[in-house]
Structure 1
Amino acid sequence: MRKENEVMKQILDFANSEDRVRAVMLNGSRVNPNAPKDIMQDYDIVFFITDIEDLSYKIDQSWISAFGELVIMQQNDFEDGAYIFLMQFKDGIRIDLSFQDIRRIEESVREDTLSKILLNKDDIELKLPRPNDSSHYVLKPSKKEFDELLNEAWWIQTYVAKGIWRDELPLAKYMFDVILMDCIRKLLSWYIGENHKWNVNVGKCGKWFKGYLSDEIYNDFISIYPTIDYEEMWQSLFRAGKFIRRIGEPLAEPLGYSYPIKDDINVTEYITKIKELPKDAKEFR
């Protein structure tokens, strides 16, 4: 596996050899002083280029071989004309290399506080703060955002319960694993944000939750993830409700919002009835 200095040299050597590449920026976890360091860290690189309308880098992709042998690559486009190559190499190195218009460099460096300029051929004057993850902090929710999330967290449980009762596993799993768990992760990120005065970055999809929660709360959270066994899914669903209440009620108070206890009680009672409903039931009692 290549060392960091080897990868950075390859990136800068390539940039220096390409006249269209006028500046290079590193961002993401490798700039974040608070991010855990390990061999799986990506290299998030931005090439600021002239003539963004010239698509030669996209049309002829032979240049990629300069960075190693690919496992797989994904290329995506952005609305502003920028584009990115997500490249996983066989030696374990991953480089996410985006190409942006050089005319947007000042705007780009302001968008992400985890940015470091590695190359500036034209000595463009740029004011970058010391790298920090403030632009990735959890944002305090508005009352509307809080109310909508809690409403969704309880509403979607009726879908999960119905899917289990009907033996519609793909539907039940999607509603639980994706929709409901996304709600819980968002709620938990707000809980952590409030406890850290909204100066905290919990990472993509809450990947750093473990470092910000007590062992008890974290273990309670991960116990919610269900299997494909319906009985275990029912137990996980009821644990999810208890967890939402455990996190949502104490969070609502300092925010000055109201926890939807009526929805909590009504939905819990409703899905309990579905669980107890015979599979051949002809009416709901």
Structure 2
Amino acid sequence: MTAVAAPARRRRRRGDGRDAWLLVLPALVPVVLVSVYPLAQGILLGFTDARAGLNQAVHVNGVDNYTRLLGNELFWSSFRIGLIWAFGVTILQFLASLGLALLLNLNLRLRWLARTLALVPWAMPPVVIAIMWRMMLNPTYGPVNDAMRTLGLPGDINWLGDFSTALPAVIVVGVWAGMPQTTVTLLAGLQNVSPELHEAAAIDGAGAWQRFWHVTMPALRPVAVAITSLDLIWNFNSFALVFVLTSGGPGGETMLPALFAYNEAFKYGNFGYAAAMGNVMVIVIAAFLFVYLRGQARSRES
């Protein structure tokens, strides 16, 4: 009887597997068409000499694009700027968002209004944010310089056009634009911290800082690792915000890798070479993603 039941169980498992694939297929097909297929095409394009223009012959050139890329100091300079931008925005964004999340987690009056206002940048497209900040940072009529003149400080700074201030100014805009999602995520994590843990620590004589460091932060660590890793990936991939703010200027001081590849493809028409740059960025993003997944696995184990 057992020998008869075993084939039936195997057939039932195969049937369940087919049913599962049929259920997943409607969601899987768009992912393959919109994400996996273009990614594969981009990777293959990086090994060709594809250029803009009608009836242009495309030939496979192996690793010629990557050999050329290794000697391109401008690209590696943009890569360095991209890492400074990504880590600078991510770190400052996390610190500012953590402070705001701690404040919004308190039982204050009009807390609902403060939480709503904190989400305003999230509702604005990056292009709109960039245009708004370009007006605010305008050296002639911008309110930022007006406020500095009111305080008796130098009020003629060209924030986005000066070599020494362009990248810091863009980083500040990036922090402001990305704070809402980080704040909301950290606030959700804070609300899951049990008040009994704080009460027990307070009874044991722990001060506010000790309770924050030894109770709040360990409970918040899984959420913090997740949102920080994702922010790093998103920030490294940034394009629209910096493109509208500075277009990579002045003198390439804010030239992120995505901007450099965009110019190479659509300004100079070197599609294959630009695709090779994109492939290098994919490798870096995959490394960030590996760190994120590893952090998530460690959080689950602990």
In proportion to residue count, which structure has more helix? 2
Per the TM superposition, whether the score is higher than 0.5 is no
Answer with 1 or 2: which has the greater Rg.
2
Higher relative contact order (CA 8 A, sep 6+): 2
The TM-score normalised by the length of structure 2 is: 0.22
The TM-score normalised by the length of structure 1 is: 0.23
